[in-house]
Structure 1
């Protein structure tokens, strides 16, 4: 079948236009893809770089078992262990820390303040009480907690947990910071009050230095101590 010159020209022009349209579409796609890549890299640059590194390395972050760690603190009344971004790098990107505390029957985690994070806790075994105080010193909460209960303590609020006299208090939770929390304890051998001890502190309480010293030295234990009155 012979093609008429005009038909051939028309066909060729259509083919050229089609090819040109395809080239333009491809160029637009490439530009759009490049624009999105530039946008994503400008916003999520570090994370994209890390993802690329992980892809090249072909390996996911290692797991970390909290129960394999040596407790940060342990004595006759219980123990506590925590995990932050310096211990497990994936926590840095999530911005949280993890902790686990076990109090033996009749023991107490001494009153303390979290200077860097809000704390969330879940009671996984036993029962007891949690007491929270507003920064101005007034009572915020004093309530019984048992297995399955969830609680939270805002940053800068003083609080303590007390195990019941007849069973332990075992709780696990999260903090809203991947940095080391460094809780400030208000009672016990390593309390903030002891580091502040001096004539000014005694004068603030209206007592002599000797009296203040006797008060601060009355508790020889630190962090976890026997409670005078166990939670009911």
Structure 2
């Protein structure tokens, strides 16, 4: 949960669409990195706060992934990412190491390690290479020129999970759990959850 504390207020503001004051409060309240002790007075939800239709998959409509003999044989997975000017690539982690080459444009990258410490906070430009270890959290903001990246993962089928955006795990947590885990008040949690 407290991995958020290692990102700058600029990144938090853009990823979660919060104002600067809300971002600062959210960052200042983070204490523990990986384990959060739930206060005795907190009531855990008894029923799911998820809507069933959010998680229904029509298997008949899903294309079967046949895989690529080249990708499977080499054991690597390529990906091209294009960000419009001033847009953000929401924070995510991957189950594979990633080598990211800046093809065009530039921007700023922040990488947070497993212990919740910001490991990288750099401006990147065309022609530069970024290495992201597996399970490290990475986020990027494109410059006014935009940002185009070519990423190679060290797995033919890497799994990437966002910690910001519509697919974020924060979305599925109850407000009372988020209040306690993020150590913030109910008002900030509601603002945070509505922006995800």
- Shorter chain as denominator, the TM-score bin is 0.5 to 0.7
Count residues with an aligned counterpart: 132
1:56 is aligned to none
Equivalent residues of 2:96, 2:159 under 8 A apart: no
Answer with 1 or 2: which has the greater Rg. 1
Equivalent residues of 1:189, 1:217 under 8 A apart: no
Pick the aligned partner of 1:191 from 158, 163, 168.
168
The structural deviation recorded for 1:95 is 1.0
For normalisation by structure 1, the TM-score amounts to 0.53
Give distance in 1, aligned partners of 2:66 and 2:188.
42
Deviation string for 1:34-92 (max 9, x for gaps)? xxxxxxxxxxxxxxxxxxxxxxxxxxxxxxxxxxxxxxxxxxxxxxxxxxx84312211
Give distance in 2, aligned partners of 1:206 and 1:130.
26
Q: Which has the higher helix share?
A: 1
Higher relative contact order (CA 8 A, sep 6+): 2
Residues 1:101 and 2:81 are matched in the alignment: yes
The structural deviation recorded for 1:108 is 0.9
Unaligned regions of 5+ residues in structure 1, if any? Answer: 1-84, 220-232
Residues 1:205 and 2:185 are matched in the alignment: no
Give distance in 1, aligned partners of 2:79 and 2:106.
18
Pick the aligned partner of 2:118 from 93, 118, 139.
139
Equivalent residues of 1:188, 1:216 under 8 A apart: no
The structural deviation recorded for 1:210 is 5.3
Unaligned regions of 5+ residues in structure 2, if any? Answer: 1-64
Structure 1 runs of 4+ aligned residues shifted over 6 Å read none
State the superposition RMSD in angstroms.
Answer: 1.8
Pick the aligned partner of 2:147 from 158, 165, 169.
169
The structural deviation recorded for 1:152 is 0.9
The structural deviation recorded for 1:197 is 3.4
